[in-house]
Structure 1
């Protein structure tokens, strides 16, 4: 029988290699046509052909196992803003942090946090109403994935005052009141280019204004951190100026290989059992009939009947662009596409690779590397939303271990 796991160690599919190298799949296909790469009959590229790429070497030179052994030299504390359903908080807990406060507006997400961690101090409600002054000088790390609202540039300083009315302003206020040793903020990759880079420039200015030195922001791909999903997050890490000379920060190491949906859904390296059955959205009858025509890893263009393509796509059929998310069926031997807040949205379809149905909520959770005993509260749509918006737990834990190492370096140089 074909051993997918063995393949994932020694070979890359064209799509997986494209994701690792941040290239379109057609760029890999072009290199094959030119003879720069050789694909085997099954369409895989042997790793020995591409090991000169730094991204590929990062798997071969992994120090993941050594980083797993990193422990805090003393208990390190955490305040998290915009905590959602707990992906980042859970990963940070696994790395060794103790949460002092988690703030979240969504009532269902707060119920999830309280249900799973009754001892956590979950403050539900509008962040602008939260007073953080009692935590001044008591917090090692402040984290948060602030929503990237539209920023106004009416002022000239492009600093703290110019962010008023945004949720980033409230995060900046919390930093000002708490004065944590380290800040870690996460956001979508698009923040890099939002408003021609002015938004990120403003954020950098505010961090500097607050008395912190920013590590150069980096986009992390979840597939490098034992997460079976092609998700990207922009990570910002900043260290308080008085501690910066003592600090030693390193980004987390890549894991040894890329995880796939097979790893998420079946007993193995990621989970000790097959994925349990859970609630999930259903397709209407006609949509199910059409989705049944899409092969594993395919999308609407792979439906052989062009009239069915037109029926499904309607006006979009005649517009430009690939629209590769429409009528998309995932592949068991690839990581999942980035999860959204619902698996059956027409533009970002997430159909099960083998069964003709949207991904169920527990499958969603496994793709985000939540453990099976992490129970989400609320309606089915609320659960999808919490999982879809989360930071993948394994990636959060890897970042958490990097922050533990950073704080250890500061402690040891005191």
Structure 2
């Protein structure tokens, strides 16, 4: 159910603006909060924000309709750079069956095997994996290849020019398997990496190997039933013999923003409070200082003497450094998780207790189920979770991919045969 009133923090998340921007809009009269009729808190009524495009997407969401999407047949998946299984688990939840998952990290591979003994987990360098035996058996090939710069020689790069990069191996796997659809996810920074040249090269190669790229989109996990402000760039490519006849539709947002309370307490996301688990700890003095930081606060909420003690030389440097001595809030989503919850630059302190988040709390914020166990030492577990695609985000994207493949199945089932790619190109040339 869509609520009538929204807190300042919630509106900041919905509109993708900072609280400081909302304060400025309050001061100049652009958007002024009102008093809640029940508790007198300063809030915004739905009518105040529904003219914003971002809010319209939320209020007019087709989430309830999309969550009922099921595959018309068993769709097959191959995934590269699988990590601890966030993307694979979300796609499995949407209805995909994994033919092969490749991952280099041994602890992550052990995690995959421990949770899904029947998955075909191939451990090791992707360059040594042969994909040809799965040719024409794969509906989706997915993977989050690391963001790497390419070498330039004053020309647009093609497939062979990217050799030596992990993206080359992703593209090679595509060429060898010939899937109907490809899915690549990456950090938002790929959009501007190397002044946009990296993404341009990736786009060129995707075109060269026979796929039409849907306009890339950054998806904010907080809109997809994930209690975390994580952003991931998704690249969706449809094979050129299919692309003219179908359309990929990005998933609709969930009807509200999930918070730390949703993540760690019994409620809409989980049936119980977070189970007890291992976790890192703070040194005694650090814990004493963080005890002075209020929920949602950071180092600037400390007294000046404690600011100087905690920040040391950084106290005199510019920039907000808002991740330092940061305490999370029950009523807001978590900040993007890092690979270590106790790093001074990217603090993620529990909302009430004076400690970092535990492994299971980390996992919940990434929407892994409580039954999903992580292998390896504590640092390896945090790293696996911190690097993962949030499961619910992957699930939402997975439903959209299932809808796309269902449409492709209808094409294949129709009596009218698909035009060959060469015929399509000839017609396009005539039109030009």
| TM-score, normalising length: structure 2 | 0.92
- Computed over aligned residues only, the root mean square deviation of the Cα atoms, in angstroms, reads 1.3
Taking the TM superposition and a 5 Å limit, the aligned residue runs for 1:275-290 are: 275-290=274-289
Deviation string 1:98-117 (CA, Å, 9 cap, x unpaired) is: 00000000001000100000
Is 1:12 aligned to 2:12, yes or no?
A: no
Tell which structure's C-alpha radius of gyration is larger.
2
How many residues are matched? Answer: 407
C-alpha distance in 1 between matches for 2:82 and 2:3: 35
- Residue aligned with 1:100, SS: strand
Deviation string 1:380-411 (CA, Å, 9 cap, x unpaired) is: 11110011000000110010010000000011
C-alpha distance in 1 between matches for 2:342 and 2:115: 28
Who is 1:74 aligned against? 73
C-alpha distance in 2 between matches for 1:58 and 1:255: 9
Q: Identify which range, 24-33 or 392-401, moves more after superposition.
A: 24-33
C-alpha distance in 1 between matches for 2:48 and 2:360: 37
| TM-score, normalising length: structure 1 | 0.96
Post-superposition shift, 1:155?
Answer: 5.8
Who is 1:312 aligned against? 310
Taking the TM superposition and a 5 Å limit, the aligned residue runs for 1:359-370 are: 359-370=357-368
Who is 2:369 aligned against? 371
Is 1:135 aligned to 2:134, yes or no?
A: yes
CA contact (8 A) 2:295 2:352 kept: yes
C-alpha distance in 2 between matches for 1:368 and 1:285: 28
C-alpha distance in 1 between matches for 2:156 and 2:306: 55
CA contact (8 A) 1:351 1:357 kept: yes
Deviation string 1:85-109 (CA, Å, 9 cap, x unpaired) is: 0000000000000000000000010
C-alpha distance in 2 between matches for 1:86 and 1:378: 15
Q: Which runs of 5+ in 1 are unaligned?
A: 1-5
Who is 1:29 aligned against? 23
Post-superposition shift, 1:360?
Answer: 0.5
- Residue aligned with 2:3, SS: helix
Who is 2:429 aligned against? none
Post-superposition shift, 1:47?
Answer: 2.2
C-alpha distance in 1 between matches for 2:141 and 2:15: 32
C-alpha distance in 1 between matches for 2:54 and 2:324: 29
CA contact (8 A) 1:64 1:256 kept: yes
- Residue aligned with 1:44, SS: strand
C-alpha distance in 1 between matches for 2:30 and 2:284: 46
Deviation string 1:225-259 (CA, Å, 9 cap, x unpaired) is: 00000000000000000011222211001111000
C-alpha distance in 2 between matches for 1:403 and 1:98: 13
Taking the TM superposition and a 5 Å limit, the aligned residue runs for 1:6-405 are: 9-39=3-33, 40=35, 42-154=41-153, 156-303=155-302, 305-405=303-403
C-alpha distance in 2 between matches for 1:166 and 1:210: 16
C-alpha distance in 1 between matches for 2:7 and 2:384: 31
Deviation string 1:14-60 (CA, Å, 9 cap, x unpaired) is: 23322332223221111111112222353432222111112112221
C-alpha distance in 1 between matches for 2:216 and 2:322: 29
Deviation string 1:197-246 (CA, Å, 9 cap, x unpaired) is: 11111110010001000000000000110000000000000000001122
CA contact (8 A) 1:154 1:162 kept: no
C-alpha distance in 2 between matches for 1:192 and 1:20: 22
CA contact (8 A) 2:77 2:138 kept: yes
Moved over 4 A (4+): none
